[in-house]
Amino acid sequence: DGGITQSPKYLFRKEGQNVTLSCEQNLNHDAMYWYRQDPGQGLRLIYYSQIVNDFQKGDIAEGYSVSREKKESFPLTVTSAQKNPTAFYLCASSLEDVDEQFFGPGTRLTVL
Amino acid sequence: AQSVTQLDSQVPVFEEAPVELRCNYSSSVSVYLFWYVQYPNQGLQLLLKYLSGSTLVKGINGFEAEFNKSQTSFHLRKPSVHISDTAEYFCAVSGGSNYQLIWGAGTKLIIKP
């Protein structure tokens, strides 16, 4: 079955540590996205990538980094510079710019 | 700049009653509109989308939405809700070529037995 996988589902880290969240898709989509979700705030775009080896900052990129070395993969690193990293992180992909986005199951990150 | 407003943060409704979740947007260009559903601790799933054509769009799970260009609205409706419809619903709009969706803050649908 085609889809998007995110791992792990739950992640705990100590303050000051970098952590990388995995996102893989087998839908052959060109575009991929990372969102952060906090209660009552909807989805906020962190980074997006339209094509391999290219990505753009979203609305809240500070304290995050990404790479897009393969079409299928778009990992997100939450660095120690992110002041409040505890949140639910969602990865998505789309075939074209105006088409629907398909979402992974999300990773809940808790920084202790 | 585009924006999306979901007018209600929570909507409580009795089981088997009809429901309407409201979504208004602002945009100076033609838009594409989406409704997504999110069950607790899960990703988002597309309910329906409007790209062009008929302004009444039917989606999954018995939901439908009507695009009203003059009122810049895209309200979601279901004639009879079930306990399994308990979830958060997000409206989103895309109007440019920058691969981004603009999201509403979400509406929690609470089904009362």
Q: Which of B32, B99, B103 sits opposite A43 (nearest CB)?
A: B103
Q: Count of CB atoms within 10 A of residue B56's CB? A: 11
Measured between beta carbons, which residues in chain B are less than 8 angstroms from residue A103? 36, 43-45
The pLDDT score that the predictor gives to residue B101 is 87
pLDDT band at B1 (very low <50, low <70, confident <90, very high): confident
Nearest by CB to residue A101, choosing from B42, B101, B106, is: B101
Nearest CA in chain A to B44: A103
Task: Give me the amino acid identity at B12.
Answer: P
pLDDT at position B98 over 70 = no
Which tens digit of pLDDT belongs to each residue from B22-36? 999 987 777 889 999
Low-confidence ranges of chain A (pLDDT < 70): 1, 97-98
pLDDT digits (tens, 9 = 90+) for B38-65: 998 899 999 999 988 889 999 999 999 9
* CB-CB under 8 Å, B49 with A100: yes
B4, HSE (Cβ side, Cα atoms, 13 Å):
27
